[in-house]
Amino acid sequence: MSSAYAGPGKYIQRAGEISRLSQHVAPLGRNVLVLIDPFLFDRFSSPLQRDLEGAKLSVHLEKFGGECTLAEIARVAAIARGKESQILVGVGGGKAADTVKIAAFEANARTVIVSTIASTDAPCSAVAVRYTSEGVYEGSARLPRNPDLVVADTSIVASAPVRFLVAGIGDALSTWFEARSNLESRTNNYVAGGVPPTAAGIAIARACHDVLMRDGLKAKQAVEAGLCTTAVENLIEANTLLSSIGFENCGCSAAHGMHGGLTALSETHGMLHGENVAFGTLCLLMLENRPIQEIEEMIRFCEQVGLPTTLAELGLPGDLRYYANRIAEASLAEGESTHACPVDVSVALVSDLILALDATTTRMRAARH
């Protein structure tokens, strides 16, 4: 038997932690490159520079290009090499985090991720997702090591627009269901080239689901009211840490495969990653022919927190069969995680299940009126 587990070197979640970043970064090296999401640059560049330079660190600040593309990764890695950066810090969302993870590996630097939103499970993993400059999914990189440090400043995350937190719920919702899918198909995880998961990895994936079911709606309502409650704290951990460890140690399946299929449609480029993944999770349950009670329960949960459950809510109205076929074709491309399902998949089957999910949601709504 064999098994393997992976996770970040250190995870710190606390209000105001971004102002104490230098305390955690200083032991890792002296030359620091900080990549900041463009819409956060004006807000955080000066405070971060003051804090890091106050710890006698050499600091270079750079604005993130907006997409995790091969060109952007190469640009950041080149800057890091030119500045002889020993540490790369990514401040912002999942695409900035993934860019830093790959660039840091290429520049032989340590990796620090500062999450300002809880919208994806990207920060803690050694998996990074690349896109084209148009935002179409291009592929995933499996890196040999996880970030050295991940910081989640809850005061910043909880004050971000609620849509980001909800998208994180959608991404995290896939964690247990995709773990179960991989366990049943006996598909290897993403650690050490791919091996079966440890009991710890499986337990964390299950714990992620339990937190979502218990605290997801409460957390969303609290953030809408401008509050940071225990439920919000728990959800930030689930979206950022538990979901990341869960997917890396257990693997992805059709929920993320569907996300890849959806990004192939220009009409969905206004959707967030987790919103697409939530719809993909419901499709996964249909694909695996799970009990109708479980499918309906997850549809109701998605509706309660504000995640899409129909093609129209993804910006795809009109000819549903046309869209279902295109999503199915793209989600079954070579290398897509849809193939990790414990069922035989085909374009016809995936297209039909997408329409079946849409019809199920429509029927449930009609029954309530």
Give residue-wise pLDDT tens across range 74-92: 999 999 999 999 999 999 9
Distance in angstroms (rounded) separating the CA atoms of residues 181 and 285: 9
Contact yes or no for 85/60 (Cβ under 8 A) = yes
pLDDT of residue 272: 94
β 31-36/127-131 pair status:
unpaired
Half-sphere exposure of 184 (CA within 13 A, CB side): 15
In the set 51, 121, 209, 273, the catalytic residue is: 273
Give residue-wise pLDDT tens across range 114-149: 999 999 888 999 999 999 998 888 888 999 999 999
In the set 98, 121, 256, 358, the catalytic residue is: 256
In the set 37, 121, 209, 259, the catalytic residue is: 259
User: Which structural domains are found in the chain, ordered by start?
Assistant: 11-157 (3.40.50.1970), 253-364 (1.20.1090.10)
Which amino acid is present at 223? V
In the set 171, 209, 215, 358, the catalytic residue is: 171
**Measuring CA to CA, which residue among 274, 324, 308 is closest to residue 122?**
274
pTM of the predicted model, to two decimals? 0.94
Q: What percent of the chain has pLDDT over 90?
A: 94
Catalytic site includes residue 273:
yes
Distance in angstroms (rounded) separating the CA atoms of residues 201 and 179: 9
Which amino acid is present at 21? L
Catalytic site includes residue 171:
yes
Which amino acid is present at 130? R
171 band by pLDDT with thresholds 50, 70 and 90: very high
* 267 has a pLDDT exceeding 90: yes
* 1 has a pLDDT exceeding 90: no
pLDDT of residue 137: 83
359 band by pLDDT with thresholds 50, 70 and 90: very high
